[in-house]
Amino acid sequence: MPRLFGTDGVRGLANKDLTADLALGLAQATAVVLGQGRSAEARRAEGKRPVAVLARDPRISGEFLSAAVAAGLASSGVDVLDAGVIPTPAAAFLIADIDADFGVMISASHNPAPDNGIKIFARGGTKLPDAVETRIEEHLDEPNWAPTGADVGRIRRFADAEDRYVLHLLGSLPHRLDGIHVVLDCAHGAAAGVSPEVFSDAGARVTVIGNDPDGMNINDGVGSTHLDLLAEAVLKHGADIGIAHDGDADRCLAVDANGKVIDGDQIMAILAVSMKERGRLTDNTLVATVMSNLGLRMAMEQHGISMVHTKVGDRYVLEAMDGGKFALGGEQSGHVIMSEFATTGDGILTGLHLASEMARTGKTAAELASVMTVYPQILVNVRDVDREGIHKDEVLADVVRAAESELGDTGRVLLRPSGTEQLVRVMVEAADQTTADRLAHQIADVVRVRLAV
């Protein structure tokens, strides 16, 4: 049987791949695995039940899926605090804030509305390790505990969920945002109710787009994967910065006053330098994936900041951060993790701290972003090839070595198999676009011929 959990929970087309029955069963299995920990047993010793936080983004299928998850948890003896529509990082924060035993977030992040997903967080608001996900999958095929009478769980509204999260975000800020005009793109998603409020409370002048979720328009031409409208709005309103979230608000990308994109690497560079100056960057170290731009590494070297590189995926960034107790890490896509304040990527938190740095220094977003030179980076996906062959083919290895020799210290080559599709990703960075294009397609052609299946 193929593994149910992917790199970020269980995802699929809602009501086809991800059904109400699957959601209910997954919740029951989760209750068995995560509802048996020390904190849950301590509650039972006091005559109480385990507690879980439940939340979702505004896509329409989240309504029936959250009902199924709530039913599965309650029928397994877990009390459910339903926070309604809030960002994924808000759900993670609330789990830790109220010391819940675990939590469930229903969202497909930046995917289109017909998709949905179920993300499960352990006690403390942390993502589950693979071994725990495997145990949950195993319990899907086993009889689950079915309490009766007073032992069944209760489902209650988490009434002050949003207020708790807003106060947490405001309390994290090193500097207010007075005088900063921000355009927020909420992706018609989970940030719609929180992000405008917290930016306004922090002192910013706020203009909002992508803030009218109807259940089907989430991520539709807006948000962190579609920055054109944000850039247009920033120019139209003469704003200082534009900040874009994705559907569940765990990402943040930005555009400066000229409409130029500031990606996750640049945001990390800005925050890393600021945190080092303020003594908040643990061991003066930043954690990023192998896909981060070469310019990030060079900028960090110039500022005396070390880097730890991980595989692609925020879970691997989190693992490295936890292992070294590091304060900052993330991905080029805008997943930025500030471990002092969050256990996962938090797009609203990231955007607040980016704007706060503008207010603190008096610099424009473009001036802050200039800390890093973005090298041209070309990614070519070669489909229907033997993914594992990249480690074995000597002809391909020779071509890669020749490209690396030509680039020297001014670029790099990265070949990696996709974790979800039958394809190989060829990434080349170089000092100029022409060289990057030429070498990337040259290597991709060799992959296509040598690793054909």
Q: Residue 245 CA to chain centroid, in angstroms?
A: 10
N-to-C CA span, the chain: 24
Contact 324, 282 (CB under 8 A): yes
DSSP calls for 317-384: HHHHHHHHT-SEEE-TTS-EEETTT-SS--HHHHHHHHHHHHHHH---HHHHHTTSPPPPEEEEEEES
109 is catalytic: yes
- Whether the CA torsion 64, 162, 225, 200 is positive or negative: it is positive
Integer-rounded Cα radius of gyration of the chain: 23
Residue 28, both tokens: 């029951």
Q: What residues have CB less than 8 Å from 147, skipping those under 6 apart? A: 75, 76, 77
250 annotated binding-site participant: yes
CA–CA dist 268, 274 (Å, integer): 10
- Whether the CA torsion 352, 355, 360, 365 is positive or negative: it is positive
109 annotated binding-site participant: yes
Q: Which residue among 61, 109, 274, 333 is the active-site one?
A: 109
409 annotated binding-site participant: no
283 annotated binding-site participant: no
CA–CA dist 54, 181 (Å, integer): 34
Catalytic residue positions, numbered: 109
Binding residues for Mg(2+): 109, 246, 248, 250
Give the residue ranges of the annotated binding site: 109, 246, 248, 250
